[in-house]
A = this chain, B = another copy of it.
Amino acid sequence: MKKIMDEFKDLELKLTPQRLAILGLILDKPGRHPSAEEIFSKVKEDYPSISLATIYNTLDVLTKKGRLVEITIDSKKKHYESNLDPHHHIVCTCCGKIGDVWDEELIKKLPVSDVGDFEVQGWHINFSGICKDCREKQGNN
């Protein structure tokens, strides 16, 4: 309870109940990659008056401050996560669930011979596959 309040101090962001609820929710669900709408409906349970705009504002400011990461793996909407350790993601082609992919090799280095006229700053790998749940459901057909 103390720790998360310090996070805002460290980030030089004003601490508000809304922000506390939003970041707290995301920190509470490691391994999840919620969208703004998902965060909105969860936070709304404990904080019925919160506005979607506040969700977007908060996600935006926390992302710009580097406390959250935006994940671009779903062409329909953005997803967010709080785990800052560099890693990659996999999306289920069946249900859309997103999972983390941890691999030392793919994080430390990535040999590239040709990036044309670009100067590389970083990279992120989007894997696709089928999750366990969907594999099991397929078996039941």
Contacts and interface: CB of A to CB of B under 8 A. Distances in A.
Interface residues of A, number: 42
Interface stretch (A20-28, A38-46, A106-114): A106-114
Interface string A127-141: 111111101000000
Contact of A115 (B101, B110, B120): B101
A90 interface: yes
Interface of A: 70, 72-75, 78, 90, 92-93, 99-106, 110-133, 135
Contacts of A100: 116
B111 A132 contact: no
B92 A118 contact: yes
